[in-house]
Chains A and B, each alone.
Chain A
Amino acid sequence: MSTKVKDSDLSLIEACVRGEHAAFRVLYQKYQHKVRSTLYQLCGSSLLDDLVQEVFLRVWKGLSTLRHREYFSTWLYRITWNVATDQRQSFAQQHSLRSQLQTHERGDSSHSDRVTNDLILLHYQDLVQRGLTQLSLDHRSVIVLHDLEDLPQKEVAEILGIPVGTVKSRLFHARAAMRQFLEREGVQL
């Protein structure tokens, strides 16, 4: 998702505001991967489908109120962030339960995990996911939006409603915490 949307997106948004479901389907298909990926990195897999649905329902209901349609993607990320924070409490509990289950699973198959490259890939993905989980939501958000989704710091600041300086500061601390976690898990960077 870029900072400003293209003209084709603007006409899609116009059509959605007129109530055209077909236009919204195109918009959904274009952006759902980003929304899904961001929500997964922020909240994990529990209730992921429900959260994605909630985001697009809010988008559908709120599109007519969006004045600066060229900033649709920033607005969409903002809604995604709001949905993620709305679910923060329940997700925190679910994450801790899932982490415990995953720890048991890893203990059972720790030798076989390193046999093939595919399993090593899965292992590292799991590490990054657990590393994100152990961060606070504030720190996780800046890592996900800036480092993983490649959004500029200014846009991250707009999405989260914080100054750019705070984004920089949170990035610094979040990366430090992430690095410490990965090193504790035996990753050499």
Chain B
Amino acid sequence: MNEHKDEQKLLDFLKKYRPIPPESSPDFEERIFRAITQESPIKASKFRPLEGGKLYLFPRFTWSIAAGIFVALLGIFAGNYYGNFSAKVEPLDDHHLEDFLVNNWQSTMDDISLEIVNSSDEN
């Protein structure tokens, strides 16, 4: 209780005898407005404001650019990944390759011999 009273006395003293600033020079207001006339208000995109104690580190369009770059990079990586996946060819072993060639050759020969037979029949 006493502490509260003491604190109130201190606050009353500070308020009663608070320093009073010296008066500004008579042409001070005009000086400010001369300076302001030379400055135009800066648009939001060129300024990083402090609003309600919150600092906006970057303007919003910067984040849009960053997001765009991220999506593009993601697309490139995804393209590479799936591209490599679909282009992958399992190495054939020699037996499979040999069988394939023989069968292929054999079927070609069968077709030719069949054509010869057909043409002789027609004659």
Which residues of A come within 8 Å of B, CB atoms?
16-17, 19, 21, 24-25, 28-29, 36-37, 39-41, 45, 48-49, 52-53, 56-57, 60-68, 71, 74-75, 78-79, 82, 121, 124-129, 132, 143, 147-148, 157-159, 161, 175, 178-179, 182, 187, 189
Known: A48-B22, A53-B31. A128 touches B10 (CB 8 A): no
Interface-facing stretch out of B40-48, B66-74, B79-87, B92-100: B40-48
Interface bits B12-34 vs A (CB < 8 Å: 1, else 0): 01111111111011001101110
Other than the known A24-B36, A158-B52, what 5 A-B pairs have Cβ atoms closer than 8 Å? A49-B28, A53-B31, A57-B36, A60-B39, A79-B50
**B35 to chain A: which residues have CB within 8 Å?**
53, 57
A60 touches B41 (CB 8 A): yes
**B25 to chain A: which residues have CB within 8 Å?**
49
Q: How far is the CA of A65 from the CA of B44 in the complex (A)?
A: 5
B53 touches A65 (CB 8 A): no
Give the residue of A25, A64, A68, A74 whose beta carbon is less than 8 angstroms from that of B33: A25
Q: How far is the CA of A143 from the CA of B41 in the complex (A)?
A: 33
Q: How far is the CA of A41 from the CA of B18 in the complex (A)?
A: 8
Give the residue of A36, A37, A65, A68 whose beta carbon is less than 8 angstroms from that of B52: A68
Q: Please name the residue on chain A nearest to B40 by beta carbon.
A: A19
Q: How large is the interface on B (under 10, 10 to 19, 20 to 34, 35 or more residues)?
A: 35 or more
B33 touches A21 (CB 8 A): yes
Give the residue of B17, B36, B49 whose beta carbon is less than 8 angstroms from that of A65: B49
Cross-chain pairs A/B with CB under 8 angstroms, 14 sampled: A21-B37, A41-B18, A41-B19, A64-B42, A64-B44, A65-B48, A67-B51, A68-B51, A74-B52, A78-B50, A78-B53, A127-B17, A143-B14, A189-B6
**B115 to chain A: which residues have CB within 8 Å?**
none
**A21 to chain B: which residues have CB within 8 Å?**
33, 36-37
A64 touches B41 (CB 8 A): yes
Q: How far is the CB of A27 from chain B (nearest CB, A)?
A: 11
B17 touches A148 (CB 8 A): no
Tell me the interface secondary structure of chain A in the complex. Answer: helix
Q: How far is the CA of A61 from the CA of B31 in the complex (A)?
A: 16
A52 touches B51 (CB 8 A): no
A148 touches B51 (CB 8 A): no
A56 touches B53 (CB 8 A): no
